[in-house]
Every structure is written in C-alpha cells, then in structure tokens.
Amino acid sequence: MEAALKDFEDWMKTLVIEEVRYYAVFDPSSGKILGIYPDHSTPDLANKVEIDQEIAQSILEGATTLESYVIDIDSGHLEIIELKSLTKIDDVLHRIIDEKWSNVVDADVRLLSDRKNRTLTIELSEKFYKTRKIYWNGNTEMCFLFTDYNDPNGLYETVSLTIDTLFNKRSIDLKLDLPEEFSVYTRRIFKNYIIRYENS
C-alpha cells in the first residue's frame, strides 16, 4: 500500500496539466457563433477560431452570451458587438461614479476631470492594447452626457466618439465649460467606467 502511495506521489510530481484552449465554432455565411468548445472536442469541426480563455469562460459561466460576439469573416477574429437588447436601466443610462467611491482597480474607461483648467480626458484601459484575440465593432458610438450633479435631466454637454477613435488615440482631451460639480452618464458598452476629479 505504501509503495502504491509513493508511486502515486511520484506521478503527481511529474504531472503537467496543460492549459485548455477554446474555440468558437461559427456560421461561415454570417459569422454568428454557434458554440464554444475546448480544443479536445473540436478536432474535426470546420469554421472554428481560437478565442481568449477569459472570454470563453465568461460565456460558459453565463456572464456574457454568444450573441455578444461575432466572427469577422474577413479577418477571422472574434469581435465584440453591440448588444441589441439592453435589459437593465443601468445599461441604458449608466452613471459614471467617482473613483474615490469605486473599488474598481482597472476600469475599462477612465475619465479625468481637471476642474481648474476645465479639461476632461477620456482614456481606454491599457489592458485592451495587450495581445489578445478581442476585436469589436469600431463604429460603435460611445456617448457621454454631462449633466447637473445627480440629475440626468439638466444637460450641459454631450460628447460622442467611436470605440475605434478612442482605441487609436488611447485618450481624448476635451475642453468643456462645466460647473464645479457635475455628473456623467453613458450607455454601458464596456463593463467598468470611473471618473477622477483633479484640482478641486
């Protein structure tokens, strides 16, 4: 019994667990994703593309859906697409919260407000510039509504830009004539947004 246990322990020391690779199987005519599969179950399947493990697990765990993605037929890459149905009011009109009240470490989109110079910078997180198989519809419009503090009805300014514009420039600098206190609302395209106020 002890010999068998020793053999098992020796075997465990040499065991190498390979990281599972995931593939999206898609309709070649529309790019619609038909399913997400681990590599060992797709050897004979056509029309498949390897995808990021983080995205695969997000879909498999139900955090996102297959309908949130499509395969770009020309490039063969997975593309994040704009959701056609937004079910929560927070997705339709999402208030961007102050960084000091947030526990988000690395927000997808960060706004930096310089109150003294009346400027605002919109930045996309550096994580989107790392080598990942994530692509999105670059024409998707991002709209930011600058309003009275805590009141989306008192509109001061509206700023619209596309995801590609922000991605290509990394950050956008704006000169805005806003009061000392204001709120920013947007439609939630990315998961996490925060704003930091400087020179208050």
Q: What is the pLDDT of residues 110-132, one digit of tens each?
A: 999 998 889 999 999 888 776 44
Q: Angle at the Cα of 81 (from 76 to 84), degrees rounded to 5?
A: 140
* CA atoms of 120 and 114, how far apart (whole Å): 6
Q: Residue 78 in contact with residue 85, Cβ under 8 Å?
A: no
HSE (side-chain half, CA atoms, 13 Å) at 131: 0
Say what percent of the chain tops pLDDT 70. Answer: 76
Cα distances (Å, whole numbers) of residue 108 to 72, 95, 159: 23, 15, 18
Sign of CA dihedral 55, 29, 76, 162: negative
Distance CA 152, CA 57 (A): 35
Q: Number of C-alpha atoms within 13 angstroms, CB side, residue 47?
A: 16
- Residue range 131-143: mean pLDDT, rounded: 64
Residues 82-105 pLDDT 10s: 444 444 555 568 899 999 898 888
Q: Which amino acid is at 111?
A: L
Domains and CATH numbers, the chain: 2-80 (no CATH), 89-198 (2.60.40)
